[in-house]
Amino acid sequence: MNPFSSGTRLRDMIRSIRGCKTAAEERAVVRKECASIRAAISDNDNDYRHRNMAKLMFIHMLGYPTHFGQMECLKLIAAPGFPEKRIGYLGLMLLLDERQEVLMLVTNSLKQYPTKISFPFSYIHAALCSIRIIKKVPDLAENFVNPAASLLKEKHHGVLLTGIQLCTDLCEVSTEALEFFRKKYTEGLVKVLKDVVNSPYAPEYDISGIADPFLHIRLLRILRVLGHGDTDASDCMNDILAQVATKTESNKNAGNAILYECVETIMSIEDSSGLRVLAINILGRFLSNRDNNIRYVALNMLMRAITVDSQAVQRHRATILECVKDLDASIRKKALELVYLLVNENNVTSLSKELIDYLEVTDQEFKGDLTEKICSIVEKFSPEKIWYIDQMLKVLSLAGNYVKDEVWHALIVVISNASNLHGYTVRLLYRAVQLSGEQEILVRVAVWCIGEYGEMLVNSIGMLEKEEPITVTECDAIDVIESACKQYSTDLATRAMCLVALLKLSCRFPSSSQRIQDIIAQNKGSLLLELQQRSIEFDSILQKHQNIRSALCERMPVLDESTYVGRRAGSLPAAVSTSQGAVLDLSNGVGKPSAAPLVDLLDLSSDDTPVPNSSGNDFLHDLLGVDLSIASTETGTNQAQKSGADVLMDLLSIGTLPSQSSLSSFDGLFSSRDNSASVGGLENLSSNTTLPVQASTESGGFPMMDLLDALSPSEQNREDSGPTYPSVVAYESSSLRITFNFSKQPGNVRTTLVEANFVNKSSNAYTDFIFQAAVPKFLQLHLDPASNNVLPASGNGLITQKLRVVNSQHGKKSLVMRIRIAYKLNDKDVKEEGQISNFPPGL
Amino acid sequence: MIHFLLLISRQGKVRLTKWYSPYAQKERTKVVRELSGMILSRGPKLCNFVEWRGYKVVYKRYASLYFCMCVNQDDNELEILEIIHHFVEILDLYFGSVCELDLIFNFHKAYYILDEILMAGELQESSKKTVERLIDAQDALVEAAKEQANSVSYMISQATK
């Protein structure tokens, strides 16, 4: 080692790096320095270690890798001299992060270092450490309560600051601590605040004429925590809060910071109306201040004030609306949040009008947020359907592409329910599409409505008084759809919807049938499988199956609004409730499936009436092109699509439909359907309202397992080559008996195949017989279609249904099941429920 | 609580970073890049607060440097502005009319000063005088160590080791 070469000094290195003109030059310099530092490290150079570390830290800040220096930090920390230690700790802080193992070595060396820290730092640092500890391990809070309380008596500002912070955190973490401090220390803290507020000029702590505003703010915050929800504590602090609110100067930031904290405190503690008035006044002043920071802070205050005095906040509505249009993005965002909280039935019409007007001019980044909020407001508070439709159409015309799928699906549900508004809606949509055809979602809704209500559009049916007359020919209507098809040539969902709409129109506009057929035929060669399939099918219907065409294209039945809304609420993500793994409690409604957005199948509260198997009821099937009407009977004669739906159901591992005959010539086509087609229907299959699907809850979903099951039906091996289990009478009432026969396959010990036999004990036949079952989370249930849904009387026949149960806790927990049976007796609905717990052990 | 503190130049160069919450090295670079983009693109008249990933970032521009602090949603933004100003004034006291160059060439001293004001994400000292006294005391220690290292007797003792 050359004793005279010390490498460059820190200053010189920085200078030479800053002097580099290009990035490549800088890299070269850095490389050279790193090389010399590395050499010094391997030479174990003691003298210049701290300088090398400083250089390394600078290089690190530039963004270059510096991990080779980490061990040097340790050596520096262990060195005897103060400068070395200082740089060593700095290097430690900069170059390492919490997770690295090197820190273990450091803590060891720290333990050996003799501690001789003087007051007040010992208190300050202890307090800060304690704050960290209780944040990470809140249970330890009790240990700190007493020592923390003793810190409150100190005079040193640093100790007070950290001590008060510690006490505040303790109160937030532990209710016992809160009670303790509230009882014993509220008065003391009020006194400390009084002293600080009234203290004479102290140059050491003075900021903008106020003595230690930081301490003011800390004290106000702990008083907030102590006074919240407690009248005695709140009374204690009234005077000082009033004094702070009135006497604090508000021309400098320090003063405003204190006033802000004071207002927040007043809003949180128990009411003493004089104080609240003061607070609202300050709030009003802040809101009209020209300084953006102050206005932002005022919006914060308003959010807190809403919970306390929403009238006062409503008075500022106009100003808040102005803030929504502010130039500053932060203020806009806050104001929008505030507006959302302010909406109620009375002001919703004017507020949404303002917001929609603003939507027209706002910039792209904000449009998404704004659209979402508007849709939410409109949906929650709409006074009547026609207003809702109007507003939604406006939003769609302005910002349709930002509207989420569930929102426009909900819109369609509402439209279908508002039968007196069908004509009005379709005409409105027709006009809107002429103007705003670039909004794809608008076009989709329009296409659907024109398909459904085309004849109303052309014949001006159901005109409301306020409507202007409009002449639309069949040609015009078809033009709209045709141009939508062309314009959105890349979007599968839109074009698919167009095809379906055209099919419907071929019924409603018989004279244009040829033209429609031509348009559909154009898609027969489409490269997109979905479109090709649809166009071929529809073409075939138009040409060869005239007799069923009208039945197919009948008006869609009304979608059940309340169920849909309930389903939406239930199928939202973050279904935290499902992850508890507890046994199913039917009284609460069912545990909602977690993984895929599966429907709340056993929502026993809502879909009680087992509507005859009608996939036509499901508008989503419509979207998928499975637009078959309910004109066909329950026996589901020729409705092949239903079994297609079966296959779909399997893909999503939902229990299958009951009483279907499973023949289908379309089966092959469906099973090769591209699952990822952006039809928008698949993932929403869950919002399937009235399909009387068998209930089976998912234990976090094994979709793959069910997929395999669906594809290999041969697994349903009825031959008993496994152990036999006795049959049980699962359920018996005066009117019904259900028997379960069990079998297992060899090698598949967790799966049980159950054959359920239903016997009618009464002297009247049961029709529309439907069996539903629910199982706890550790089980998986799969139902096959029942053999029939008519159960003859007096045991003259029976219904058989096969079930498959997979027990993930096989050997530990036995099977248990809750069932519900619904049927019609003399045209009256009857329901029976029960729990089956007499499964043979070992299943 | 303050989660981290960044000093960024107008051109996006990092002059100082201090992390009070766990962030891995890779995350740190990502965060710095993201925030630099967000803050540097904000106009001059806009408010000093930005919402970011569920936190609030309070920033203030002093000459060519942006001082940014990331805090929780329920922290007092105006107070944080005061803390930033407190820090800047102490730097100014120490360096005498501090400018960006001072912080570049003496970044280690800037860190030492910061560590006296903020620790574990909380303000620990609200008196500028006290901080000044502490830093001066530390500097004196360093001077003493240097003098000792340069003294003849020390050199002799090292050479004869």
Tokens of residue A154, six digits: 């100190």
**Predicted local confidence at residue A595, as pLDDT:** 34
Residues written for chain B? 161
> Which of A20, A199, A207, A287 is the best mutation test for B, with the most CBs of B within 10 A?
A207
Cross-chain residue pair B120–A132, CB shorter than 8 Å:
yes
**pLDDT tier at A190, thresholds 50, 70, 90:** very high
For residues A835 and A825, the answer to whether their CB atoms sit within 8 Å is no
Neighbours of A774 (CB within 10 A): 23
**Predicted local confidence at residue A357, as pLDDT:** 87
Q: What's A280-299 look like in SS3?
A: HHHHHHHHCCCCHHHHHHHH
**pLDDT tier at A345, thresholds 50, 70, 90:** confident
**pLDDT tier at A619, thresholds 50, 70, 90:** very low
**Predicted local confidence at residue A83, as pLDDT:** 87
Chain A residues touching residue B118 (CB < 8 angstroms): none
How far is residue A626's CA from residue A649's CA, in Å, rounded to a whole number?
Answer: 14
What percentage of chain B's residues is helix, strand, coil (to nearest 5)?
50, 25, 25
**Predicted local confidence at residue A569, as pLDDT:** 59
Give percent of chain A with pLDDT exceeding 90.
Answer: 17
| Chain B residues 127-156 within an 8 A CB cutoff of chain A | 127-130, 138, 141-142, 145-146
For residues A147 and A170, the answer to whether their CB atoms sit within 8 Å is no
How far off is chain B from A729, nearest CA to CA, in Å? 57
> Which of A26, A328, A333, A369 is the best mutation test for B, with the most CBs of B within 10 A?
A328
Is any Cβ of chain B less than 8 angstroms from the Cβ of A369? no
Cross-chain residue pair A295–B24, CB shorter than 8 Å:
no
Tokens of residue A336, six digits: 């929008």
**pLDDT tier at A565, thresholds 50, 70, 90:** low
Q: What is the mean pLDDT of chain B?
A: 92
Helix and strand counts by DSSP (H, E) for chain A: 34, 10
Is any Cβ of chain A less than 8 angstroms from the Cβ of B55? no
How far is residue A750's CA from residue A745's CA, in Å, rounded to a whole number?
Answer: 9
User: pLDDT by residue (tens digit) across A300-313?
Assistant: 999 888 888 888 88
H/E stretch holding A141 reads helix A141-151
Chain B residues touching residue A157 (CB < 8 angstroms): 125-127
For the ranges A224-228, A668-672, B97-101, which has the lowest average pLDDT? A668-672
Nearest to A90 by CA among A58, A126, A124, A123: A58
| Chain A residues 224-263 within an 8 A CB cutoff of chain B | 253-254, 256-257, 260-261
Contacts of B121 (CB under 8 A, 6+ apart): B1, B2, B3, B20, B21
Name the most confidently modeled range: A343-352, A426-435, A821-830, B118-127.
B118-127
Checking if the pLDDT of A151 tops 70, the result is yes
Checking if the pLDDT of A97 tops 70, the result is no
Cross-chain residue pair A128–B122, CB shorter than 8 Å:
yes
**Predicted local confidence at residue A194, as pLDDT:** 94
Chain B residues touching residue A296 (CB < 8 angstroms): 47, 49, 77
How far is residue A416's CA from residue A561's CA, in Å, rounded to a whole number?
Answer: 9
How far off is chain A from B9, nearest CA to CA, in Å? 12
> Which of B19, B108, B155, B158 is the best mutation test for A, with the most CBs of A within 10 A?
B108
**pLDDT tier at A652, thresholds 50, 70, 90:** very low
Checking if the pLDDT of A459 tops 70, the result is yes
Checking if the pLDDT of A709 tops 80, the result is no
For residues A629 and A550, the answer to whether their CB atoms sit within 8 Å is no
Backbone angles phi, psi at A743, to 5 degrees: -155, 155
**Predicted local confidence at residue A550, as pLDDT:** 78
For residues A615 and A641, the answer to whether their CB atoms sit within 8 Å is yes
Chain A residues touching residue B5 (CB < 8 angstroms): none
Tokens of residue A657, six digits: 């439909």
| Chain B residues 30-49 within an 8 A CB cutoff of chain A | 43, 45-49
Question: Which position has the higher pLDDT, A263 or A761?
Answer: A263
Q: What value does the mean pLDDT take over residues A451-464?
A: 83
> Which of A165, A167, A261 is the best mutation test for B, with the most CBs of B within 10 A?
A165
Nearest to A495 by CA among A223, A680, A345, A224: A680
Q: Answer whether the bond into residue A120 is a cis peptide, omega within 30°.
A: yes
How far is residue A423's CA from residue A62's CA, in Å, rounded to a whole number?
Answer: 67
How far off is chain A from B108, nearest CA to CA, in Å? 7
Neighbours of A524 (CB within 10 A): 14
Q: Using alpha carbons, list the distances in angstroms from residue A127 to A173, A270, A488, A657.
A: 16, 30, 64, 64
Neighbours of A330 (CB within 10 A): 21
Is any Cβ of chain A less than 8 angstroms from the Cβ of B78? yes
Cross-chain residue pair B76–A261, CB shorter than 8 Å:
yes
- CB nearest B141 (choices: A82, A129, A207): A82
Tell me the pTM: 0.67
Cross-chain residue pair B82–A11, CB shorter than 8 Å:
no
**Predicted local confidence at residue A788, as pLDDT:** 83
Question: Which position has the higher pLDDT, A6 or A655?
Answer: A6
Cross-chain residue pair A162–B83, CB shorter than 8 Å:
no
Chain B residues touching residue A125 (CB < 8 angstroms): 119
Checking if the pLDDT of A641 tops 60, the result is no
User: pLDDT by residue (tens digit) across A388-446?
Assistant: 888 888 888 888 888 888 888 888 888 888 888 888 888 888 888 888 888 888 888 88
Cross-chain residue pair B22–A57, CB shorter than 8 Å:
no
**Predicted local confidence at residue A115, as pLDDT:** 62
How far is residue A446's CA from residue A483's CA, in Å, rounded to a whole number?
Answer: 12
Is any Cβ of chain B less than 8 angstroms from the Cβ of A130? no
How far is residue A511's CA from residue A506's CA, in Å, rounded to a whole number?
Answer: 8
Tokens of residue A61, six digits: 């800040």
Tokens of residue A576, six digits: 């935290």
What percentage of chain A's residues is helix, strand, coil (to nearest 5)?
60, 10, 35
Q: What is the mean pLDDT of chain A?
A: 77
Give percent of chain A with pLDDT exceeding 70.
Answer: 78
User: How far separated are the first and last CA of chain A, in Å rounded?
Assistant: 79
**pLDDT tier at B36, thresholds 50, 70, 90:** very high
Question: Which position has the higher pLDDT, A98 or A443?
Answer: A443
User: pLDDT by residue (tens digit) across A22-38?
Assistant: 999 999 999 999 999 99
Q: What value does the mean pLDDT take over residues A638-652?
A: 38
- CB nearest A331 (choices: B47, B123, B145): B47
| Chain A residues 41-60 within an 8 A CB cutoff of chain B | 54, 57-58
**Predicted local confidence at residue A566, as pLDDT:** 61
Nearest to A601 by CA among A701, A703, A706, A696: A696
For residues A303 and A341, the answer to whether their CB atoms sit within 8 Å is yes
Name the most confidently modeled range: A479-483, A492-496, A765-769, B69-73.
B69-73
**Predicted local confidence at residue A706, as pLDDT:** 39
For the ranges A180-189, A731-740, B59-68, which has the lowest average pLDDT? A731-740
Q: What is the DSSP string of A186-222?
A: HHHHHHHHHHHHH----TTTEETTEE-HHHHHHHHHH
Tokens of residue A755, six digits: 């054959």
Is any Cβ of chain B less than 8 angstroms from the Cβ of A63? yes
How many angstroms separate the most distant Cα atoms in chain B? 66
User: pLDDT by residue (tens digit) across B110-157?
Assistant: 999 999 999 999 999 999 999 999 999 999 999 998 888 788 777 888
Cross-chain residue pair A157–B79, CB shorter than 8 Å:
no
Q: Using alpha carbons, list the distances in angstroms from residue A188 to A162, A185, A219, A235, A517.
A: 17, 5, 11, 14, 87
Tokens of residue B53, six digits: 């990933």
**Predicted local confidence at residue A762, as pLDDT:** 84
Tell me the three state secondary structure of residue A74: helix
Question: Which position has the higher pLDDT, A353 or A258?
Answer: A258
**Predicted local confidence at residue A117, as pLDDT:** 62
**Predicted local confidence at residue A662, as pLDDT:** 36
For residues A508 and A517, the answer to whether their CB atoms sit within 8 Å is no
For β-strands B14-19 and B2-9, DSSP reports them as antiparallel
Q: What one-letter code names the amino acid at A180?
A: F
**Predicted local confidence at residue A638, as pLDDT:** 39
User: pLDDT by residue (tens digit) across A526-545?
Assistant: 888 888 888 888 888 888 88
Chain A residues touching residue B142 (CB < 8 angstroms): 82-83, 86
User: pLDDT by residue (tens digit) across A310-342?
Assistant: 888 888 888 888 888 888 888 998 898 888 888
Cross-chain residue pair B124–A161, CB shorter than 8 Å:
yes
Cross-chain residue pair B123–A331, CB shorter than 8 Å:
no
Tell me the three state secondary structure of residue B2: strand
Is any Cβ of chain A less than 8 angstroms from the Cβ of B88? no
Question: Which position has the higher pLDDT, A38 or A702?
Answer: A38
Checking if the pLDDT of A622 tops 70, the result is no
For the ranges A273-287, A608-622, A762-776, which has the lowest average pLDDT? A608-622
Q: What's A451-494 look like in SS3?
A: HHHHHHHHHCCCCCCCCCCCCCCHHHHHHHHHHHHHHCCCCHHH
| CA geometry: angle A472, A473, A477, nearest 5 deg | 80
Cross-chain residue pair B45–A327, CB shorter than 8 Å:
yes
Checking if the pLDDT of A819 tops 80, the result is yes
Chain A residues touching residue B78 (CB < 8 angstroms): 253, 256-257, 260, 293, 297
Chain A residues touching residue B14 (CB < 8 angstroms): 61-63
How many angstroms separate the most distant Cα atoms in chain A? 113
Long-range contacts at A188-193 (CB < 8 A, ≥ 24 apart): A188/A152, A188/A153, A189/A152, A189/A164, A189/A219, A189/A222, A189/A223, A189/A226, A190/A223, A190/A236, A190/A237, A190/A240, A192/A152, A192/A160, A192/A219, A193/A219, A193/A220, A193/A223, A193/A240, A193/A244
Backbone angles phi, psi at A760, to 5 degrees: -90, 115
Tokens of residue A314, six digits: 């409503």
Checking if the pLDDT of A743 tops 70, the result is yes
**Predicted local confidence at residue A833, as pLDDT:** 87
Tell me the three state secondary structure of residue B59: strand
How far is residue A740's CA from residue A719's CA, in Å, rounded to a whole number?
Answer: 16
**Predicted local confidence at residue A678, as pLDDT:** 36
**Predicted local confidence at residue A563, as pLDDT:** 67
Residues written for chain A? 843
